[in-house]
């Protein structure tokens, strides 16, 4: 029996994701480190800084093939670093919280580990745990929405979390439910604004949840979770949980 506490304080979420605004104390706290953190992030995306068998190396290999330019390669790597790390980490934490508070759904995953990817998408869709709840866009022209004119240049705040719990789209939307099909949620954006790294996040989540389903029989909260304030992310400072390992006669062999 283990008593882990999920803690995460990323380099990226203090500046890159807070910087989307509003201009508040969270932005001001890192204002004096913008140049330092930006330089650090750029350095991590250089080809020589990456392992030879990781996603970053494969992006650079794509530049060798001509799939993208050498100028674009570090920018794509950086998109995975700044936009893909903290969001995925907190998405996985949302999964743990969901299963700790919905033991029946963990039992469902325990019995059917092939639901791992569905579980991650449902956690991203579900209630107020989705890592990205809101996002801004800018109107490029005057546009009328529901009888209201949005002038060109106006910032538009979209409530992704609300769309993911729209009762006209989802039955019993505030329930975390692995029997539903969560496809169509907008936690990864939609259309031309879809997250470029969503397949990486889903792959990581599927690998982790499948491994846990083979070894862990039950997950429970052991204390009060605490949030980590952020302008963009619905993030966690800590999530204390206890995992109950499966008995040797019920544990399943790990697939490679």
Contact present, 94 and 151 (Cβ < 8 Å) = no
Over residues 109-132, the mean pLDDT reads 89
Mean pLDDT of the chain, nearest integer:
86
Whole-angstrom distance, CA of residue 39 vs CA of residue 19: 16
pLDDT for 16: 74
- Please write the tens of the pLDDT for every residue from 85-100: 888 888 899 999 999 9
- Please write the tens of the pLDDT for every residue from 139-169: 999 999 889 999 999 988 888 889 999 999 9
Contact present, 119 and 88 (Cβ < 8 Å) = no
Over residues 5-18, the mean pLDDT reads 54
Provide the token pair at 84: 């893909």
Residues 6+ apart with CB under 8 A from 243: 1, 2, 4, 212, 216, 218, 219
More confident residue, 234 or 211: 211
pLDDT for 75: 92
pLDDT for 251: 55
Report for 124-128, 129-133, 199-203: range of highest mean pLDDT:
199-203
pLDDT for 4: 43
pLDDT for 252: 56
Strands 155-159 and 134-138: antiparallel
Please, what are the domains in the chain?
A: 9-127+163-245 (1.10.630.10)
For residue 54, pLDDT over 70 is answered with: yes
For residue 12, pLDDT over 80 is answered with: no
Kindly report which listed range (112-121, 185-194, 197-206) carries the lowest average pLDDT score: 185-194
Whole-angstrom distance, CA of residue 157 vs CA of residue 138: 9
Rounded (5°) CA angle 106-108-110: 70
Strands 155-159 and 148-150: unpaired
């Amino acid at each position: 029996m283990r008593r882990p506490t999920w803690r995460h304080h990323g380099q990226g979420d203090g500046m890159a994701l807070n910087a989307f605004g509003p201009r508040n104390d969270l932005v001001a706290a890192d204002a004096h480190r913008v140049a330092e953190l930006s330089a650090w992030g750029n350095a991590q995306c250089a080809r020589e800084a990456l392992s030879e068998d990781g996603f970053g190396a494969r992006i650079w290999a794509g530049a060798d093939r001509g799939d993208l330019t050498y100028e674009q390669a570090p920018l794509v790597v950086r998109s995975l670093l700044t936009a893909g790390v903290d969001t995925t980490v907190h998405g996985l934490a949302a999964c743990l919280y969901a299963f700790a508070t919905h033991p029946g759904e963990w039992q469902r995953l325990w019995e059917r580990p092939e639901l791992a990817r569905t579980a991650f998408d449902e956690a991203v869709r579900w209630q107020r745990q989705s890592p990205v709840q809101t996002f801004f866009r800018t109107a490029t022209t005057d546009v009328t929405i529901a009888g209201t004119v949005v002038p060109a240049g106006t910032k538009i705040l979209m409530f992704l979390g609300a769309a993911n719990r729209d009762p006209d789209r989802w039955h019993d939307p505030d329930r975390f439910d692995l029997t539903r099909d969560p496809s169509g949620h907008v936690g990864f954006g939609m259309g031309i604004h879809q997250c470029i790294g969503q397949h990486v996040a889903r792959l990581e989540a599927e690998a982790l949840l499948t491994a846990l389903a083979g070894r862990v029989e039950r997950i429970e909260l052991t204390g009060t979770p605490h949030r980590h304030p952020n302008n963009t992310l619905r993030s966690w400072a800590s999530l204390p949980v206890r995992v109950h390992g499966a008995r040797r006669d019920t544990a399943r062999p790990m697939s490679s």
